[in-house]
Amino acid sequence: MTSVFRLHPNDLKKKMIYLNTINENLKIPLTFLDNIKEKYDINIEIYYLIIDSIEEFKLKNIFYFINLRLKNIDEKINYDIVTKENINDIFNNYIKGDIVKSIMVMNFIQQYIYPLRN
């Protein structure tokens, strides 16, 4: 069976822990991928940990990276200022409960933090 993920979330977590780049204690409450967790019982904690571990002044780079890829399908995540306090709202306003958009965001975060060659 073909996976929709570039890298399975469990494998990504193992790699991130091995590289010692994440702190396993969330400082900010994030919920933008909860629809994936509820429907498919996939561990999405690693994505929240990645977002939480990025310094605040670098958060806008994630959105720039994602918007470059979304431009290919005429989509865009709208944001003015990105902070740790509003990042959850920005993602929720884009995803709006759509499973496909959630998976796309998961894959973009994976690709941003751990690029794979094709």
- Nearest residue to 47 via CA among 115, 99, 105: 105
What is the structure's pLDDT at 86?
Answer: 92
Average pLDDT, the chain: 83
The tokens for 107 are 């894959």
Q: How confident is the model at residue 7 (pLDDT cuts 50, 70, 90)?
A: low
Global confidence as pTM = 0.79
Q: How confident is the model at residue 1 (pLDDT cuts 50, 70, 90)?
A: very low
Residue 49 or residue 102, greater confidence: 102
Q: Residue 20: which region, alpha, beta or left (left: phi > 0; alpha: psi -120 to 50)?
A: left
User: What number is the average pLDDT over the span 23-51?
Assistant: 83
pLDDT tens digit sequence for 70-86: 999 999 999 999 998 99
Residue 25 or residue 91, greater confidence: 91
Q: Are 54 and 62 in contact (CB under 8 A)?
A: yes
Q: Which residues contact 46 (CB under 8 A, 6 or more apart)?
A: 9, 12, 13, 16, 22
How do the residues of the chain divide into helix, strand and coil, expressed in percent and rounded to 5? Answer: 60, 0, 40
